[in-house]
Amino acid sequence: MQAGARLGFILLLTPLLLWLTLLIIIPHIDMLLLSLRERVGVGQYATSPANYLTFFGEPLYLRTFMRTAVMSVLATVITLLIAFPVSFYIAKIARGRVQSSLFLLCLVPFWVSELVRTFGWMILLRETGLISTLLQYLGLASGPVEMLYNDAAMMVGLVYTSMLFMVVPLVTTLESLDDAVIEAGYDLGGNGFSVLREIIIPHATPGIVSGSIVVFMLSLGNYLTPTMLGGKDSLWFTELIYSQFIVRFNWELGAAFGFMLLILSSVIVWGMLRLTGQTLEKTMG
Partner 1 sequence: MTLLSNRLKLATSVVALTIAGLAQTASADTLRLLTWGGYAPEDVVAAFEAETGHTVEVTLSNNEEMIAKLRATGGGGFDLAQPSQDRIAGPQAEFGIYKPMDLSKIDESQFIPSMLAATKGNTTVDGAVYGVPHVWGTSGLVVDTAKAPGVKDYTDLCSADVAGKVSYRLKRPTLIGFAFAMGLDPFAAYGDEAAYTAVMEKVEAKLKDCKPNVKTYWGGGDELMNLLRSGEVVASMAWDTGGWKLNADNPDITFVAPASGALGWIDTFVLPAKGGADQAAYDWINYVMQPEVAAQITAVAGNFTASKGADEFASDELKARYQASFSPAAVDNIKWYPPVPAGLEVIEGGVLDRVQAAK
Partner 2 sequence: MTPDLECSALTKRFDQSLAVDDVSFSVPPGSFFSILGPSGCGKTTIMRMIAGFLPPTSGDIRIKGKSVLDVPPNKRPVNMVFQHLALFPMMNIADNIGYGLRRKGLLKPEITRKVGEVLDRIGLPDIANRKVDELSGGQKQRVAIARCMVLEPDVLLLDEPLGALDLKLREHMKIELKALQAAFDTTFVYITHDQSEALVMSDQIAVMNAGRFEQIGTAQELYYRPDTAFVAGFVGDSNRWSGKVETVAGGTLALRTDGGLLMRANAHDRSLAPGDRAEIFVRPEAIRLARSDADLAHFDNRLNGQVTSLLFNGAASRILVQSAEGGPEIEVTLPQSGEFSDVGRGDAVHIGWSGEHSNCFGLTGAM
Binding site for partner 1 (CB under 8 A): 39, 42-43, 60-61, 63-64, 126-128, 146, 148-149, 227-228, 231-233, 235, 240, 243-251
Tell me the per-residue interface mask from 152 to 181 with partner 2, x by CB under 8 A, - otherwise. --------------------------x-xx
* 234 dihedral zone (left: phi>0; alpha: psi -120 to 50; beta): beta
Neighbour count for residue 110 (Cβ, 10 Å):
13
Give min distance, CB of 56 to partner 1, in A: 15
Does position 142 interact with partner 2 (CB under 8 A)? The reply is: no
Which letter does DSSP use for residue 221 in this model? T
Burial class (CB in 10 A: 0-12, 13-18, 19+), 12: exposed
Does position 1 interact with partner 2 (CB under 8 A)? The reply is: no
- CB under 5 to 8 A by kind: which of partner 2, partner 1, none does 183 bind? partner 2
Q: Which candidate, 140, 143, 151, 145, places its Cα nearest to that of 127?
A: 145
Give min distance, CB of 223 to partner 1, in A: 11
264, 216 Cβ separation under 8 angstroms: no
Q: Which candidate, 86, 83, 72, places its Cα nearest to that of 225?
A: 72
3-class DSSP state for residue 1? coil
Q: What are phi and psi of 234, to 5 degrees?
A: -65, 125
Task: Round to whole Å and give the CA distance between 236 and 255.
Answer: 16
Which of these ranges, 31-39, 146-154, 182-190, 271-279, lies near partner 2 under the rule CB under 8 A? 182-190
Give min distance, CB of 162 to partner 1, in A: 22
Does position 8 interact with partner 2 (CB under 8 A)? The reply is: no
Please state the length of the chain. 285
Which sign does the torsion angle of CA 153, 157, 160, 163 carry?
A: negative
Give min distance, CB of 49 to partner 2, in A: 47
- CB under 5 to 8 A by kind: which of partner 2, partner 1, none does 236 bind? none
Does position 30 interact with partner 2 (CB under 8 A)? The reply is: no
Does position 187 interact with partner 2 (CB under 8 A)? The reply is: yes
Give min distance, CB of 83 to partner 2, in A: 21
Does position 279 interact with partner 2 (CB under 8 A)? The reply is: no
Task: Round to whole Å and give the CA distance between 284 and 231.
Answer: 36
Does position 20 interact with partner 2 (CB under 8 A)? The reply is: no
CB nearer to partner 1: pick between 190 and 231: 231
DSSP β-bridge partners for residue 37: 47
- CB under 5 to 8 A by kind: which of partner 1, partner 2, none does 256 bind? none
Task: Round to whole Å and give the CA distance between 185 and 203.
Answer: 13
- CB under 5 to 8 A by kind: which of partner 1, partner 2, none does 64 bind? partner 1
- CB under 5 to 8 A by kind: which of partner 2, partner 1, none does 285 bind? none
Task: Round to whole Å and give the CA distance between 284 and 265.
Answer: 17
What does the binding site for partner 2 look like in residue numbers (CB under 8 A)? 178, 180-181, 183-191, 194, 198-199, 202-203
